[in-house]
Structure 1
């Protein structure tokens, strides 16, 4: 990394972002657990967490992290900023271990490491982003055949999971909730990029908010963000933060990279070595995710497992945390 002033500022902002975002998972989980003591759980459709100061503190922390991450891209190249996002996994896992007492088995740690390595490999070898100079350019790319097919696939996936599997499998299968919020996040990123370009050009003197495309992107960002927050809350409330955080990061990063490649057609600029490296990164991610799922209950004491995993407890009206019911 070149030791320029901008790169140093970007590095500081990126690291600050990982700290804020990693902390937000833990703080929000604390708020969700407190809310469950005097209201319906988020996983069962309750919204009592909206009255919890801890949950709002977590949201503020996450927003601060996203703002810092967005600002980091203005100072440093994406090849420096994006891989650092993996640090939020490590930070949240460490905090979950000490604060929430959510134990992560050694093979779970290895799974997290594989997820981080795979994601980093993909990001570091991803093609360079195309320079965009107006919102209309983004609109033309977003209405191309490739991205339209991608959006339709995401909408179908989200609808199937929401209407078919959320009620029956949501609280027992983490991938139902994350399968909704993670791909939706890739659409959010594309919208945020468009709105960011609009804001930047507007501040430079060319008002982009006179175009209807800018407002469509704004509505898409707001809608997708609300959907993400809702289902991420459900996942955090029902499952271990130490597992939700890395799996969410991996899925979100993977979908975002795919969406970016489809939208900006950057795959055409890659050689066979880069493509092979990215495929190896995907295989590494899948291996880490599989290891996390297969070893999630290892190392738990029998007494703990009986308390947190018995069917009777799952169907009762008690407020026993579901953090270990993955």
Structure 2
């Protein structure tokens, strides 16, 4: 199926977004290394000298540009098309890291890249056309249809159960608790981002949507959802190794976002069963390639698995796997610090701490 003009714009913007976001991690990492070399204190152990490093700020600006492109992409194309393309950012990051940071991309990693690209091509070819929306009230009608209200109610109930029951009980031992909260809220944030982006697009075209309270309601939902995601993603990254958090978060977030979009915007209405099956298969290939690539990257950093909780903190935010309003942007700046064995506390200190605990 040929891409419509809007889908083509969204596709190009999603590619630009992935390129900028993937490159931003490499630029920020080089900035963090340079700042650590000058100050002698790494970001992963509490240093903030990177705030004076122009290269780090260049990486941050690059990331913001990528996120803006991602935001605009949702205004032109369905989430079924845009969201899976977020996986391409990790390919950009992995390839640049191979050449610029000497972080080797092995055979399995290359296979993961190929799978992500192949799956993305299938998704793009069979993606549904974007429905024409003429006002924010039309989006409001979609958001208040019974099927989507049932989805929203289910999400809110599940989030409340996770926050008030499972989070205190097993949040620090089960990675699904914090990542589940992030993913559930993330699906609502993307729907609100798409609604807000569409409203702004119509406004720039001369049909002012800022006069309607529905537009500002979507702004409120975006802010509330992003703050919640930021809080619990930080908790997940601070508690568990990023090799565990990032793939699980990506799979859950992307799956729930596509489900929410299919319910709210009726993305699959009018599509043949063959196109829908092809989209699902392409999406599964993208997920598999992403997991393979990310697991391969983190497998090399074996010290991350040896360092226990401290390693989880220091390896915290390395992966550019968040495909929505930059969770990376809010998730701290220890993302590019390696947890070297030389940094680990001496065994005597560990034994002394254990004795004090008992």
TM-score of the aligned structures, taking structure 1 as reference length: 0.69
Q: In 1, Cα distance between the equivalents of 2:50 and 2:27? A: 13
Which residue among 305, 308, 316 is the counterpart of 1:314? Answer: 308
Measure the CA separation in 1 of the matches of 2:312 and 2:127.
48
1:12-23 aligned at under 5 Å gives the runs 14-23=14-23
**Contact 1:27 1:58 (C-alpha < 8 Å) held by counterparts:** yes
Q: Deviations over 1:37-74 (max 9, x none)?
A: 226xxxxxxxx799686776544322211223445678
Distance change >3 Å, CA 117–CA 289, structure 1 → 2: same
The match for 2:214 is 213
Q: Is the 8 A contact 1:89 1:245 kept in 2?
A: no
Per the alignment, do residues 74 and 179 of structure 1 end up closer, same or farther by CA in structure 2, a change over 3 Å counting? closer
**Matches of 1:8 and 1:159, distance apart in 2:** 38
Question: How far has the Cα of 1:88 moved from its partner?
Answer: 1.7
C-alpha distance in 2 between matches for 1:6 and 1:150: 27
CA 1:316–1:174 in 2, change beyond 3 Å: closer, same or farther? closer
Gaps in structure 1 of 5+ consecutive residues: 40-47
Gapped runs of 5+ residues in structure 2? 37-41, 319-337, 340-358
CA displacement at 1:135 relative to structure 2: 0.6
Conservation of the 8 A alpha-carbon contact between 1:82 and 1:123? no
The answer to whether the aligner puts 1:190 opposite 2:188 as a matched pair is: no
Alignment root-mean-square deviation, CA: 4.7
CA deviations on 1:75-113 (whole Å, 9 max, x unpaired) are 899999777644322111223445666555533443454
Query: Aligned pair 1:35/2:43, yes or no?
Result: yes
TM-score with structure 2 setting the length: 0.64
The within-5 A match list for 1:130-149 is 130-149=131-150
- Say if 1:11 and 1:146 are closer, same or farther in 2 by CA, change over 3 A: closer
Q: Which residue of 2 aligns with 1:127?
A: 128
Does the Cα contact within 8 Å between 2:128 and 2:271 map onto a contact in 1? yes
Q: Which moved more, 1:228-237 or 1:131-140?
A: 228-237
| 8 A Cα contact 1:139 1:213, kept in partner | yes
